[in-house]
Structure 1
Amino acid sequence: MSHDAPRSNFIRDLVEEDVATGRFGRPVTTRFPPEPNGYPHLGHVKSIVLNFGLARDFGGRCNLRFDDTNPVTEDMKYVEAMKADVRWLGYAPDAELYASDYFERLFEIAEGLVRDGKAYVDSQNEEQIREGRGTVTSAGTDSPYRGRSPEENLDLLRRMRAGEFPDGAHVLRAKIDMAHPNMVMRDPLLLRIRHAPHYRRGSEWCVYPLYDFAHGLSDAIEGITRSLCTLEFKDGRDIYEWLVREAGFERPPTQIEFARLELEYTVLSKRKLLRLVNEGHVSGWDDPRMPTIAGIRRRGVTPEALRNFAEAIGVARKPARTELATYEHYVRDDLNMRVPRRMAVLKPLKVVLTNYPEGQVEELEAPSYPHDVPLEGSRPVPFSRELWIERDDFMEEPPKKFFRLAPGREVRLRYAYFITCQEVVKDADGTVVELRCTYDPATRGGDAPDGRKVQGTIHWVSAARALDAEVRLYERLFSVLDPEDVPEGEDFTKHLNPDSLVVVRGAKVEPSLRDDPPGSRYQFERTGYFVSDAEDSRPDAPVFNRTVGLRDSWAKVKGS
């Protein structure tokens, strides 16, 4: 189910060259550096697999480092969620680190830049700084405070650290070039005042590093070799390299960018995912419709499937949207080879076998896995006079190519008998409420000794022993191909799919499922892959989440 060898890509080629030449003079060292301001999602899986995989394959190290430099948005619950998700994916970090532990070191580096005339305290407000940067076609203008002496800057910086000034009164900026073609290099901000308690450091600090300042220097402090980032950080590579060089690190890390994951019908912006949670569009970060690892796990996807998917889509320099069908293929391919088969009826229609003895229940034997799966096992399936079948498996006036049950037609009950529909019972509204059928006792096990064949096989559950269940049918959360790319001013939540969750109550499942622990995965035959919900299921009231559906040949015929 997993790939024997990692796929080659341009990053792996560079790391191979680093090892061969001894470029960094230390083992391959990577990091997964999330900001703890939300739950990790499918896009993070690609980064996790890449960073941990390179460290594993080249005998190196991979750190889990939390880039926690914004006290307003970060929370320990997000830290714990990320730690749990990395472990669930099958990786053990070589170290658990925090950018907030480097605040003292980063401040010392800031002081060094000020003393060397490489940074200054700017007292302009945010709008003035933004206007002074210029545009992509015109140079910026120097801040009126750019000429402050190192001594004055150092005094102001230390007073900022001591808490003498309110938020926004001053910022520390690098002194580089206000006409630089890369606007990121036009005296970027390094430190800002923010009187807010930090979830780990409390009220020790009131000046906090900006991401561009903390990120590269944290990498350098940890001895990272290659800093792997997605393409939106490409413009930040210049400041990354400037800072690690000016701070005096020998053989500092270098940044490499790769295309982030873009998946059809999915948003992977943490800001947008947070909106979905806060505004109640979903039940939480672990809603099975969410592309978060927590939601994906609750939906029944395995870590192996996610790793296989991430390795299969590969690492590229150019952006490309991945088809949702590709993701679902890897989920389905993984589950097909590992989960047992069971029968479940989602929209029950009663069948009464008029020639079957009343009160009798017999135990039939059914394989737990199909012949093409290298796993063994079987389970007893109770059979009785009254059964449940899928309402969609019966049509009173069937069209061509419909081979399921119809008046006068014989079909096979999976693992059981041939039955023939003799009578259709309707209520006052004309709705079919019951089918009266006969069974052929000579066809036990699903084959006829006289060699006659039937074209249709349907699944069923004994009405006498069925377990009532709630089934949650999940579909794509959005109805448009790229919900990240909506016209300016348009709310992306307007494109939520109203049918992303359909709750089916009163479904009927095999009684064998009663004894299975929450979180058990199955293929419900002819229906799809499902998992018992670990939070909401109870022994006598199970809840099943659909992980991914099966291909339905009749649905294709119907739509043609």
Structure 2
Amino acid sequence: MSEKINFEEIPSTSFIDDFVKEDMGPGGRTEGMRVHTRFPPEPNGYLHIGHAKAIYIDFGTAERFGGICNLRMDDTNPVKEDVEYVDAIKEDIHWLGYDWDDRFYYASDYFEDMYKGAEELIEKGLAYVCELTPEQMKEMRGDLTHPAQSPYRDRPKEESLDLFRRMRAGEFENGRYTLRAKIDLASGNFNMRDPVIYRINHTSHHRTGDKWCIYPMYDYAHPFEDAMECITHSLCSLEFEDHRPFYDWVIQNVTLPSKPRQIEFARLGINNTVMSKRKLRTLVEEGYVDGWDDPRMPTICGLRRRGYTPASIRNFSERNGVSKVNSTVEYAFLEYCLREDLNQNARRAMAVLDPVKLTITNYPEDKTELFDVENNPNKPEEGARPVSFSRTVYIEREDFLEAPVPKYKRLYPEGPECRLKGAYLIRCTGCKKDEAGNVVEVFAEYDPESRGGNPADGRKVKGATIHWVNAADALDAEVRLYDNLFTVANPDEGNFLDYLNPDSLKVLTGCKVEKCLGEAKPGESYQFLRQGYFCVDNKDSRLGALVFNRSVKLKDSFKPA
């Protein structure tokens, strides 16, 4: 397919695109082939926002050049892996809008091939069985002026081959032997100082069961998997740059069907969060959050539950670009991308989070009328929804003060006229309190000639516009307000648990929402007037017990360049 594409006509979005065009163009390393990438997550946790960038790069690069991208589970470590994570990873990638068709693989698909490749290296004198323990290996690794050492480096290949086969047969306990590549003990790149490529691990694997008791190290498995799948460009995060010489060494010294090229890019860092799987697992397993999909988590499923959209995350990844230098992005930019998307696409509704009754004393007691309110000003084709209005409505408690402060333009006795959003002009006349002195009801009078909030005589309205919900058909809801999980920009500096934000979640009960929200589906997003953007919780919300999560506030603190 690639021969039909003029790669020079495809605009470059990064240095990765430049490398691809160089390789795929006339005289290039992979001229005549189809661009083929892969996304190789380890199934030992849920994907997070940092993975979203890698997904965008891996799948997006293939898309731009008319190529394909595989999904491959890096299941070389049976101790940490779980089928739960495999299913979650697939779900998250599909939700982001990417697909791998029938190209779904596991590293374990190639265990037999990897084993044969290791035997090939032994027979070529390029690998040997070593008896050093991890502690001894560390002591003998040398430094920049002294080479590493191994008393087993010159072990006859026949002996190493015999031991390696017996390792596979399960004759030895964990840690008794390793298989090491024979490269250069004096290399300035410590990854080339005879790295371990196989270790003994008597642990059942979630796919292969007890078939194997030796497992390949990732640095050996990675190039092997790419070559077996005929990947043209292996796109990796920057920490693999120093591992690239070994990647190329494996490709050059083992008989493989293709020769992929590894290209590295900088990982995505975001302030006020952590993205280490180990730390995220600690948060989950020790109960600091409500699972991997807790809306405070930077996981894809957590962001989805909070109300983030695939478009906002893809846009965030694209705008951050691809770099060779690690950097940290403001969390506010991620919120900016979400707010931008929801402003265009979220339906509007009214919700009162801290309700107090407002009774319009001169409005007929038995009267109910409907107002047509637009669902989204950016999408007139979605039309309007009917909103009912009657004598008693709910308003926000903060929209009334018995004794107003300077410049307060909302409701207070004998104060200015205010608009009830889309309904009428009202003027506050007083309030009712309980025995503790708390306001339980606000009273006002309305102007019957101001339907729609516009006075018939054209007089200027000095008060604010107030949102409301009709008490006659309002629905009860629980609303969850989320904030940063950590109180500092870089919780990785020190013990991250010391920086947990005690106010990262506030749960409001007894909130009042429009009747139309009773039909809202899990995951649907709305802009609550004056409140922010909210979505129906996809886990806890149900008919008769609505739960909404605040996705992002209305006000934007981020100023894009």
Q: Same fold (TM over 0.5)?
A: yes
One of 480, 493, 501 as aligned partner of 2:488: 480
Q: Which residue of 2 aligns with 1:519?
A: 523
Q: Which residue of 2 aligns with 1:369?
A: 376
Identity %: 54
CA contact (8 A) 1:120 1:174 kept: yes
1:474 CA displacement: 1.1
1:251 CA displacement: 5.7
Q: Which residue of 2 aligns with 1:23?
A: 29
CA contact (8 A) 1:7 1:314 kept: no
Q: Residue 208 of structure 1 aligns to which amino acid in structure 2?
A: Y
For 1:261-276, list aligned pairs within 5 A: 261-276=268-283
Q: Distance in 2 between matches of 1:525 and 1:374?
A: 17
Q: Residue 29 of structure 2 aligns to which amino acid in structure 1?
A: R
1:141 CA displacement: 2.9
Deviations 1:291-338 (A, max 9, x none): 111111111111111111111111011111111111111101111111
Q: Distance in 2 between matches of 1:7 and 1:461?
A: 51
Q: Residue 73 of structure 1 aligns to which amino acid in structure 2?
A: K
CA contact (8 A) 1:468 1:507 kept: yes
Q: Which residue of 1 aligns with 2:510?
A: 506
1:250 CA displacement: 6.7
CA contact (8 A) 2:349 2:375 kept: yes
Q: Distance in 1 between matches of 2:350 and 2:16?
A: 46
TM-score by length of 2: 0.94
2:217 aligned with 1:213: no
Deviations 1:184-222 (A, max 9, x none): 111101000000000001110000001101011111111
Q: Distance in 1 between matches of 2:357 and 2:172?
A: 76
Deviations 1:76-117 (A, max 9, x none): 111111111111111110400110010000000100111111
Q: Which residue of 2 aligns with 1:556?
A: none
Deviations 1:467-503 (A, max 9, x none): 000001111111110112x13xxx2111111111111
Q: Distance in 2 between matches of 1:17 and 1:415?
A: 60
Which deviates the most, 445-454 or 167-176?
445-454
Deviations 1:418-456 (A, max 9, x none): 111111222333322221111111111111111122241
Cα 1:17–1:374 change in 2 (3 A) is farther
Deviations 1:370-414 (A, max 9, x none): 2x4454311111111111111122233333443222222211010
Which deviates the most, 418-427 or 35-44?
418-427
Q: Which runs of 5+ in 2 are unaligned?
A: 1-9
CA contact (8 A) 1:7 1:311 kept: no
Q: Which residue of 2 aligns with 1:106?
A: 114
Q: Which residue of 1 aligns with 2:19?
A: 14
One of 512, 535, 550 as aligned partner of 1:546: 550
1:517 CA displacement: 2.2
Q: Residue 199 of structure 2 aligns to which amino acid in structure 1?
A: R
CA contact (8 A) 1:530 1:548 kept: yes
Q: Distance in 2 between matches of 1:117 and 1:46?
A: 40
CA contact (8 A) 2:535 2:548 kept: yes
Q: Residue 30 of structure 2 aligns to which amino acid in structure 1?
A: F
One of 373, 385, 403 as aligned partner of 2:409: 403
Q: Which residue of 2 aligns with 1:297?
A: 304
CA contact (8 A) 2:230 2:258 kept: no
CA contact (8 A) 2:180 2:196 kept: yes
Which deviates the most, 504-513 or 391-400?
391-400
CA contact (8 A) 1:470 1:507 kept: yes
1:464 CA displacement: 1.4
Cα 1:23–1:515 change in 2 (3 A) is same
Q: Distance in 2 between matches of 1:105 and 1:204?
A: 14
TM-score by length of 1: 0.94
For 1:284-323, list aligned pairs within 5 A: 284-323=291-330
Q: Number of residue pairs matched?
A: 543
For 1:532-543, list aligned pairs within 5 A: 532-543=536-547
Q: Distance in 2 between matches of 1:119 and 1:462?
A: 77
Q: Which runs of 5+ in 1 are unaligned?
A: 554-560
Q: Which residue of 1 aligns with 2:97?
A: 90
Which deviates the most, 390-399 or 82-91?
390-399
CA contact (8 A) 1:6 1:311 kept: no
2:229 aligned with 1:222: yes
Q: Which residue of 1 aligns with 2:468?
A: 460
Which deviates the most, 352-361 or 75-84?
352-361
Q: Distance in 2 between matches of 1:447 and 1:317?
A: 57
One of 62, 70, 85 as aligned partner of 1:55: 62
One of 167, 170, 195 as aligned partner of 1:163: 170
Q: Distance in 2 between matches of 1:227 and 1:109?
A: 20
Deviations 1:160-186 (A, max 9, x none): 000000000000011111111111111
CA contact (8 A) 2:148 2:193 kept: no
Q: Distance in 2 between matches of 1:363 and 1:318?
A: 58
Q: Which residue of 2 aligns with 1:124?
A: 132
SS at match of 1:142: coil
2:499 aligned with 1:495: yes
Deviations 1:235-262 (A, max 9, x none): 1111111111111447611211111110
Which deviates the most, 19-28 or 507-516?
19-28
Q: Which residue of 2 aligns with 1:390?
A: 396
CA contact (8 A) 1:139 1:178 kept: no
One of 408, 431, 434 as aligned partner of 1:427: 434
Q: Distance in 1 between matches of 2:150 and 2:90?
A: 43
Deviations 1:138-169 (A, max 9, x none): 43432111110000000000000000000000
For 1:330-349, list aligned pairs within 5 A: 330-349=337-356
